[in-house]
Amino acid sequence: MKSMVAPSAWSITRITRVNARKIPNSSPPFLNFFRPKPYSLFSSSVSPLSMAASSALTASSGDVTTDAEVFEQIKAHQEKAARLPPLEEIRTVVNHSVQGMLSTISQKYEGYPSGSMVDFACDLEGYPILAVSSLASHTKDLLANKKCSLLVAKDFEDKTDLLITLYGDAIPVSEEDKGDIRTAYLTRHPNAFWVDFGDFQFVRVEPKVVRYVSGIATALLGSGGFSTEFSKEAYKAAQVDPIAQFSKPVASHMNRDHAEDTKLIVQHTTSILVDSAYMLDLDSLGFYVKATYKGNTFKLRIPFPRRAEDRKDVKTLIVEMLQAAKSQSN
């Protein structure tokens, strides 16, 4: 039987404090120590799919008893866990996000930047679409200077998670495109009836550069936090992961009806005897969980044995992982 890790304490969670993700019955800090450098995972000699299969194995063949050994075991497992390539993850996160921090060049306070929380949707090229009022200060800023940036966070309450900043120009949407853009915006914001008011117009943020920043706590693993920039052309050419759109319904179902099964899969995959595992989101190559051990909270990437092809295949893969976990525990 695969050895399970049951450390007496979880000292690494005391290294730093970050905001907790607002999940019912969750009070401990929400940590994301386990996001490695992007390119070290996807070298020419190692593919995401081969990593998905290999990382499903135990990270250590022997018993682990100390906090340091637990930390190293988790680090080894998470470095091998398959993730989306950076550009694909960027396009996917931006496409499924609905709010960001817009920064403009202030007209009222000359020379200083001005920030506003704004709702947005994406067009088919992945460019953010904003519905702005002529009464808003950021609209006045953009009319005077179209240069701006839009910061999008995978989770605004988790400072260690993915941050994306699009630097570009805010261009008014043409009358020819307005109908399609309005439909796209209302698909994401169905209650935004005000977009038809006379003082509102749609603008499209056409990025020149897209900056990708991974969490501040990765330095604790020795790999360091990182930031990478991509061109407009590279961003535009990247694909949105087709499975991410099912994150909410699948995660909701698993957390509501199969919480024990998720926990068992995490225990089997990582060899860490977690007390609970709350599914956060998923994509073609795996899913993230918020796991707890004796009141301490941390985040883990759990890879699928292979790439998921569609929503039905996600269910097939989860059932396969559960069956493997049950057979191993028996």
pLDDT of residue 42: 29
Q: Which of helix, strand or coil describes residue 44? A: coil
pLDDT of 226 reads 64
pLDDT of 29 higher than 60: no
Beta bridge partners of 276: 292
Contacts of 131 (CB under 8 A, 6+ apart): 119, 185, 189, 192, 194, 195, 200, 201, 202
Give mean pLDDT, residues 26-32.
37
Q: What is the pLDDT of residue 74?
A: 80
Contact indicator for 270, 299 with CB cutoff of 8 Å: no
pLDDT digit string (tens) for 147-185? 999 999 998 887 778 899 999 999 999 999 999 999 999
What integer best gives the mean pLDDT of the chain?
81
Confidence band of 132 (pLDDT split at 50, 70, 90): very high
pTM, two decimal places: 0.77
| pLDDT tens for each residue of 215-273 | 644 433 333 446 789 999 999 999 999 999 999 999 999 999 999 999 999 999 998 88
237 C-beta neighbours (distance < 10 Å), count? 13
Contacts of residue 268, defined as CB under 8 A and 6 or more positions apart, other chains included, come to 2, 321, 324, 325, 328, 329
For CA atoms 13, 17, 22, 24, the dihedral sign is positive
Which residue from 155, 85, 150, 92 is spatially nearest to 118, judged by alpha carbons? 150
Which tens digit of pLDDT belongs to each residue from 54-83? Answer: 333 333 334 555 667 777 778 888 888 999
The larger pLDDT score, comparing residue 122 to residue 225, is at 122
